[in-house]
Structure 1
Amino acid sequence: MNNETGILLETGTNELEIVEFEVQNNKFGINVIKVKEIIQPLPITFIPHAHEHIEGIIQLRGEVLPVINMAKVLGVPPSGNQQTDKYIVTEFNKQKVVFHVQNVTRIHRISWNDIEKPSDMYQGGNSQIIGVIKINGEMILLLDFEKIIVDINPHSGIHVGQIKQLGDRKRSSKRLIVAEDSPLLRKLIHDTLHEAGYENIEFFENGKLALEYLESIAAEGNVEEKVQLLITDIEMPQMDGHHLTRRVKEHPELKQLPVIIFSSLITDDLRHKGDGVGANAQVSKPEIAQLVMHIDRLSL
């Protein structure tokens, strides 16, 4: 299995395909376009003093890749029957990582609109859950794999220090709209953009809310005076960033608004998806300094 099926989905339709996998009979999902392949477990080389979630490293076609034990990440016992165990080889945030799961079952094609945001009541402040999918009377939890990686290696995330390398910055009055579902990333983006001089920022937790707001501005007229740039993630419940970008670029009053896609899914294989919906720029997380340089260029 590879990610070709995900690539073949028409861009901007607000649909995705997820790989369903199991850990202790609980069902979880990962976006197909993060998945390079699914393989049988390989011999692991133990790494002394590694993070507790890291099993070790494997060699796959000449590449050395870390293996993350999802049972440890999720705080459940190890597999009782390792015959069904699988390795999910992924690529996002400009890195390849292997996730050790206890079974891989099927692929589902769904709409982002069918993914419910987790309730604050049960997800907690440190949850890895970004969405809940109801299929055939069962629930599949969509996991935040970026957060799993950052929890293991904090240096792989967004840092204000990256902005300081750009030197002294002037304050800007430009108004930015940001669509990002992760509370943690909303705060990190807020802090780093403030450090870069952009203080007039409005955040929305998914593409649907951002589009509704932009359409309300468009109905009032003078869009260019009220907002100068849109930044959007791709993976968001209700409406993804590709569909949001497509809707903005097809709107007669919004189409001139610059759009930057800021996502862990910006790779050479997937960049054409953002191009296809009219994005003005695409930046891979966590390259916040590159994001700022594009904001500088596009919000003049």
Structure 2
Amino acid sequence: MSSEILLESGTNELEILEFTVGDNHYGINVAKVKEILPYKTPTPVPNAHPAIEGIFMPRDEIISIVELSECLKMPKSQNIASDMYVLTNFNKINVAFHVHSVVGIHRVSWEAIVKPDNTINSQGNGLATGIIKLNGKLIIILDFEKIVANISPETGLKVSDIAHLTNRKRNELPILISEDSQLLSVLITECLHKSGYSNIIATDNGKEAWDKLNAFKNAGNVKDKVACVITDIEMPQMDGHRLTKLVKDDAVLKDIPVVIFSSLISEEMRKKGELLGADAQLSKPEIGELVETIDKILGTK
């Protein structure tokens, strides 16, 4: 897979791999995709989760295979010989997803991706992070982190990692969070609260965070209103890399620390974040490390 897009800086674009399960079209950020492989009969795993089809070993590593049709509550493939595996890496793990066909790769702007409303993602329980219309089709971008966390909860935020950081002195330094997942936004906020940070401003995407920063800047009190920004990378409207670039290119805002907290922290993405001026970059499961990094950046510990 080409890594060209990974090395570009703050373009607010991404590449989406379009694939099908049944008659429906879905998408995944190419930054999460390591390889696309033809279907091979997997080795079953006794007493595994129903969505785990089995395991295989394409190189020298055993990879779990997620039957995506099972997760989406759709019929299984009728022509398995032409099916594919999409081998992914995020949250520091490798997982393969069994899909029915791979359509191709599209380069799109985050501005073109619409966040699903509550009729689709009721109470944050849905599996769609965005919807985009391409070539007359609606492509649903799936929340692969949530799919894996539903199968194996320990791959999600490690909330237990902040147990030793609770019961600390309250801190009123304002922290701005940009995170499109309502569930993760709540969890991050709760973890920061438990760690002593009580002044949290939550936004749903980079554009909302940028608009808020500009409103504070225009009011002349941005440094009083935001001491630090924590941002995801993948978000509709404006991604975290674009937000980072805008902050660090702004004469007034550039001294505000920006911490990228994402499931996509790979070597290539870390290089991109460094080029954009991010003050720290952490993989999303490590919530304890996030709090400790905020402590160091803000000089509270």
When the two chains are superposed, the root-mean-square deviation of aligned CA atoms in Å is 1.2
SS in 2 for 1:189: helix
> Contact 2:21 / 2:68 at 8 angstroms: preserved in 1?
yes
Cα deviation code 1:200-240 (max 9, x no counterpart):
10100000000000011111223222210000000000000
Corresponding residue number in structure 2 for 1:58? 56
SS in 2 for 1:121: coil
Corresponding residue number in structure 1 for 2:126? 127
Which one-letter code corresponds to 1:190 in the other structure?
T
Match 1:83 to one of 77, 81, 84:
81
Find the aligned partners of 1:35 and 1:6 in 2 and give their Cα distance. Answer: 13
Corresponding residue number in structure 2 for 1:194? 193
SS in 2 for 1:80: coil
Q: Please report how far the alpha carbon of residue 6 of structure 1 lies from its aligned counterpart in structure 2 after TM superposition.
A: 3.5
Which one-letter code corresponds to 2:90 in the other structure?
F
Corresponding residue number in structure 1 for 2:14? 16
Alignment of 1:83-102 (within 5 A): 83-102=81-100
Q: Please report how far the alpha carbon of residue 119 of structure 1 lies from its aligned counterpart in structure 2 after TM superposition.
A: 1.7
> Contact 1:233 / 1:241 at 8 angstroms: preserved in 2?
yes
- 1:30 and 2:28 are equivalent in the alignment: yes
> Contact 1:129 / 1:142 at 8 angstroms: preserved in 2?
yes
> Contact 1:160 / 1:191 at 8 angstroms: preserved in 2?
no
SS in 1 for 2:66: strand
> Contact 1:6 / 1:32 at 8 angstroms: preserved in 2?
no
> Contact 1:274 / 1:282 at 8 angstroms: preserved in 2?
yes
SS in 2 for 1:63: coil
Find the aligned partners of 2:27 and 2:4 in 1 and give their Cα distance. Answer: 16
Structure 1: gaps of 5 or more residues: none
Which one-letter code corresponds to 1:143 in the other structure?
L
> Contact 1:15 / 1:112 at 8 angstroms: preserved in 2?
yes
TM-score, length of structure 2 as denominator length = 0.96
SS in 2 for 1:269: helix
Cα deviation code 1:12-52 (max 9, x no counterpart):
00000000000002000000010001011233111111111
Q: Please report how far the alpha carbon of residue 166 of structure 1 lies from its aligned counterpart in structure 2 after TM superposition.
A: 4.0
Corresponding residue number in structure 2 for 1:71? 69
Find the aligned partners of 1:54 and 1:73 in 2 and give their Cα distance. Answer: 10
Q: Please report how far the alpha carbon of residue 147 of structure 1 lies from its aligned counterpart in structure 2 after TM superposition.
A: 0.5
Q: Pick the structure with more strand per residue.
A: 1
Structure 2: gaps of 5 or more residues: none
> Contact 2:176 / 2:226 at 8 angstroms: preserved in 1?
yes
Which one-letter code corresponds to 2:56 in the other structure?
I
Report percent identity of matched pairs: 48
Find the aligned partners of 1:270 and 1:242 in 2 and give their Cα distance. Answer: 10
Alignment of 1:147-186 (within 5 A): 147-166=146-165, 168-186=167-185
Find the aligned partners of 2:62 and 2:6 in 1 and give their Cα distance. Answer: 25
Corresponding residue number in structure 1 for 2:258? 259
Find the aligned partners of 1:217 and 1:238 in 2 and give their Cα distance. Answer: 20
Which one-letter code corresponds to 1:138 in the other structure?
K
Q: Please report how far the alpha carbon of residue 251 of structure 1 lies from its aligned counterpart in structure 2 after TM superposition.
A: 1.2
Cα deviation code 1:217-274 (max 9, x no counterpart):
1112232222100000000000000000000111111111000000000112321011
> Contact 2:165 / 2:194 at 8 angstroms: preserved in 1?
no
> Contact 1:181 / 1:204 at 8 angstroms: preserved in 2?
yes
